Amino acid sequence: MKRNARRKLVISTTILSIVAMGIFGGRQLYISRPGYGLPYYARFTQDAEDRWTALGGTWEVSEGSMRNDSNDRGAKLLTGLPNWKDYVLEGDFQLLGEGSAGVLARVTEAEVGENSFKGYYVGIRTIDNSLDLGAFDFAYHEAAKVTLPEPIRLFRWYHVKLKVEGCRITASAWADGMREVKTAPFNDPDCFRSGSIGLRSNGTGGVWRNVTVTPIDAAELAANSTAQTLPSSDELARLRVTLQTGIRRGGAQPLGEGTPSVPATQPVVSLQFLAPLGSPQASIRGSVVLTRPAIYVQDSTGGIEVQSDGTMPLKIGDEVEVTGEVNLDKSSPVIRKARFRLLRETVPISPAVATANQIADGNFDGRFVQVEGYLRTISAGSDDTLTMELDAGTQSFHAILPPGRSGSHLRGVALESRLRLRGISVVDPRFKKAADPFVILVRSAEDFEVVAGPPWWRPSTLILASLVGLGLIFAFNYLYLLAKHWRLRAVADERERLAHEIHDTLAQSFAGIGFQLQAIRNSVPGGSGALESQVDLAMLMARSSHQEARRHIASLRPESLGHIGLLPALRECAERMVKNANVTVETYGDDGGRSVPPRLKDTLYRIGQEAIANSIRHAQPGTIRIRLHRTRASICLSVEDDGDGFIADSNRAGFGLLGMRKRAESISATLMVKSTPRAGTLVEVKAAVGSRFLSWPWRRTRLFARDI
């Protein structure tokens, strides 16, 4: 029975493991198939943009589009699965400056850097007014180039289409009002077989929308049923805005009619030494380091905020000349009513690495810096910006992150983590609190990174470790008790086997000997008194040996009391032993054994049974008193008789007494024997009873195992 149950448990566990592994393996195979996740439609919203991974640039979601306001070389934004194989990638984009931009397909091994990835690229390039198709293998290999029929215009929406089918790569592009241009097919014998998709800009910023990825068959069907058209663009309106704000591409040009004479450019640091009266005019030359929520321009001497009446289509990295009125009323100089002239589009400048104490001195005001600190709190502002409170040693400061992608990047960042931030250090009261010496305006979600996680000794970790430790302790305790119980069950099985062996051998032999002696007794002729007495004595000895064998068989059988109370069981046992004898059995106390763990109750029963048997066999008592006293913490059982008694401190202890002591030790109980010759014997055993909470493993294992 037990072997069948154990076999069923093993078979059930094996089947469940196979089913679980099959489900997991099937899911992995389903996910790894080339078509999983396709078709894909990019949703540039704040709740879905976290699927994209940025490598360079300052990427932010803006009005349903993805925007990069940086002139980084080779800025990439990636998404998708590495097992995407044959598909068509399409999307709309516009250039924000002179450079190139487009889309990527089958991207693998991507890193930060201009050419640091493998994959295919299609885009438009302003330097030669062309549509380019090529492959990147940590170096760019141009495969095809087609000159566009019209000059590339900034802020105009272009649509590109990149088809990767096996090792055949094709691309095309068009715009509203411009015919479609296609490249020659590119057959790559050592082509990249699969990879994710991405957006890429080089040397300028860009805006992307309507990015889709469709399998080859679905893409062909859509191409045959829809026209290649784009929504009407507003490039003329943007061009008018550009002319009104004075932005010019190329060399230095006049800022417009009626513009006053422009003063000579001067370093930013010199503006704080201008006369505080009035609003002196000044001109500076520097690189744009921030465009939102305010415009900051920095040169080699410092940085300054620039305020303009119009919207400035500037990008991070643009080198500009700024002319305007210098306001010295605030804690830092500010250029108001600014007019801009774009000198060139360059790579954004690198941050100045400084400590929080160095920045707090005010020498880095308005400059692009890199600083580290420990994250204390995160809070959201009314304009959806996120504010982080940090400290570095004794110096505390705040960092403000723009709305959009910052929220998803902060989801996995734990408090007390060490962060590395890149942003503009400002002391303007509009941004910082009164207690802060400065605040960092972070440009995008990519401008902060986790240097180190929180320390392990923080309260939440300690609480979790304590709970895990307690769980392990209870698990090990349960396993220990379970193993011990299995050992005891094995002992019980062995004792049961021995009982059957004794019953089938010794007990049957004694019965046979008694039968043969009775036959001899019946055949003894009359007048043989001596022979009859000897035969009667032999029959008595055989009968006694048979009864002793039966008693040992009964003691070896693992009979559990079950729901029977301990006191009634002992009374029944004593009355059965003294049946037809002149011995009185008295019991006192309540049946407190009902709430005792099964193993403890059975062991006490065996000790009481042995004490009763010893009293009947050796003491010739007139009365046997059995007492049971139960308290909240212990249980005490005593068996007392008024028989012959013996010397309790004798070294010649019998086998029965030694067996009782062993049983008492097995349950951590104390056994006391008091006896005086001709004054009776008292056997008392006292055991501690644990709480029900601590004894629950015994109750569980008791359901499917028998106690000895």
> Amino acid letter at 349?
I
Q: How confident is the model at residue 573 (pLDDT cuts 50, 70, 90)?
A: confident
Q: Please, what CATH class does the domain formed by 456-558 belong to? A: mainly alpha
Residue type present at position 700: R
Residue 243, pLDDT above cutoff 50: no
What local confidence, expressed as pLDDT, does residue 258 receive? 40
Pairing between strand 623-630 and 584-589? parallel
Distance CA 635, CA 664 (A): 12
| Residue 586: pLDDT band with limits 50, 70, 90 | very high
pLDDT at 309: 81
Whether cis (ω within 30° of 0) applies to the bond prior to 454 is no
- Which residues does 171 contact at the CB level (< 8 Å), separation at least 6? 122, 131, 133, 144, 160, 161, 162, 163, 182, 183
Q: How confident is the model at residue 29 (pLDDT cuts 50, 70, 90)?
A: low
Q: What is the pLDDT of residue 593?
A: 53
Give the mean pLDDT of 328-348: 88
pLDDT above 70 covers a percentage of the chain that reads: 84
Closest CA to 503 of 471, 550, 435, 468: 550
Question: Which sign, positive or negative, has the C-alpha torsion 422, 423, 425, 428?
Answer: negative
pLDDT tier for residue 30 given thresholds of 50, 70 and 90: low
Torsion angles phi and psi, residue 67, rounded to 5: -125, 135
Which residues have CB under 8 Å from 100's CB, separation 6+? 123, 124, 125, 126, 127, 132, 201, 202, 203, 204
Which among 31-35, 247-251, 646-650, 687-691 has the top mean pLDDT?
A: 687-691
Rounded to two decimals, the pTM is 0.60
**What's the one-letter identity of residue 284?**
I
Pairwise pLDDT comparison (423 vs 590), residue with the higher score? 423
Contact by Cβ (8 Å): 281, 266: no
Residue 2 confidence (pLDDT) = 53
Instruction: For 82-126, write each residue's pLDDT tens digit.
Output: 889 999 999 999 999 999 999 999 999 999 989 999 999 999 999
Query: CB–CB of 171/127 below 8 Å?
Result: no
pLDDT of res. 491: 81
pLDDT on residue 6: 66
Q: How far apart are CA 438 and CA 473, in angstroms?
A: 50
In this structure, are residues 318 and 204 in contact, taking their beta carbons and an 8 Å threshold?
no
Q: How many angstroms separate the CA atoms of 553 and 1, rounded?
A: 22
pLDDT over threshold 80, residue 186? yes
Confidence of residue 547 (pLDDT cuts 50, 70, 90): confident
pLDDT tens digits, one per residue of 141-185: 999 999 999 999 999 999 999 999 999 999 999 999 999 999 999
| 3-state secondary structure at position 504 | helix
Q: Give the homologous superfamily in CATH for domain 40-233.
A: Exo-inulinase; domain 1 (2.60.120.560)
pLDDT value of residue 559: 56
Confidence of residue 644 (pLDDT cuts 50, 70, 90): confident
Give 455-486 pLDDT, tens digit per residue.
Answer: 877 777 889 899 999 999 999 999 998 888 88
Q: What is the mean pLDDT of residues 506-513?
A: 77
Superfamily (CATH) of domain 239-253+262-345:
Bacterial OB-fold (2.40.50.200)
Is the pLDDT score of 249 beyond 90?
Answer: no
**Where does residue 607 rank: exposed (0-12), middle (13-18), buried (19+ CB within 10 A)?**
buried
The encoded tokens of residue 175 equal 């715009």
> What would the mean pLDDT of 253-278 be, rounded to a whole number?
67
Task: Tell me, yes or no, if the two domains 456-558 and 561-708 fold the same way.
Answer: no
Please, what's the b/e burial string for 184-215 (b: 16 or more CB within 10 A of its CB; e: otherwise)? eebeeeeebebbbbbbbbbbbbbbbbbbbbbb
What does the block give as tokens for 669?
């109980």
Distance CA 310, CA 499 (A): 104
> CA-CA distance, 534 to 524, in Å (whole number)?
11
- With 80 as the cut, is the pLDDT of residue 57 above it? yes
The two beta strands, 439-442 and 186-187, are unpaired
Average pLDDT over residues 592-606: 77
Which of 34-38, 56-60, 139-143, 670-674 bottoms out in mean pLDDT, i.e. has the lowest?
34-38
Give the lowest-confidence range in 131-135, 201-205, 412-416: 412-416
360-423+439-451 architecture in CATH? Answer: Beta Barrel (2.40)
3-class secondary-structure state, position 335: strand
Per-residue confidence band for 706, with pLDDT thresholds at 50, 70 and 90 = very low
Q: Which residues pair with 695 in a beta bridge?
A: none
Domain 561-708 falls in which CATH fold?
A: Heat Shock Protein 90 (3.30.565)
pLDDT above 60 for 232: no
Q: Which amino acid is at 705?
A: A
Handedness of CA 131, 135, 140, 141 (dihedral sign): negative
Query: Of the spans 134-143, 561-570, 580-589, 609-618, which averages the highest pLDDT?
Result: 134-143
| 129 touches 152 (CB < 8 A) | yes
- Euclidean distance between CA atoms 654 and 656, whole angstroms: 5
Give the range among 326-340, 379-393, 445-459, 510-524 with minimum mean pLDDT.
510-524
pLDDT score, position 651: 57
DSSP line for 419-453: EEEEEEEE--TTTS-TT-S-EEEE-SGGGEEEEE-
**Residue 131, number of CB atoms within 10 A of its CB:** 24
Distances in Å between the Cα of 139 and the Cα atoms of 56, 135, 205, 274 are: 17, 8, 21, 50
Q: 197, 162 in Cβ contact below 8 A? A: no
Residue 704 has pLDDT above 50, yes or no: no
- Asked whether 567 and 593 are in contact (CB, 8 A), the reply is yes
pLDDT at 108: 94
Dist. CA 96–CA 206, nearest whole Å: 5
Distance CA 664, CA 24 (A): 52
pLDDT tens sequence across 289-311: 999 888 999 999 999 999 988 77
Cβ-contact 405, 59 below 8 angstroms: yes
More confident residue, 62 or 654: 62
What pLDDT, on a 0 to 100 scale, did the predictor assign at position 632?
83
Give residue limits of the domains in the chain.
Answer: 40-233, 239-253+262-345, 360-423+439-451, 456-558, 561-708
Cα separation, 634 vs 428, in Å, equals 74
Task: Tell me what percent of the residues of the chain surpass a pLDDT of 90.
Answer: 41
pLDDT above 70 for 203: yes
Share the mean pLDDT of the chain. 82
Residue given tokens 């009446």 in the structure block:
309
- Model confidence pLDDT, tens digit, residues 280-290: 889 999 999 99
pLDDT at 47 over 90: no
> Beta strands 130-137 and 186-187: pairing type?
unpaired
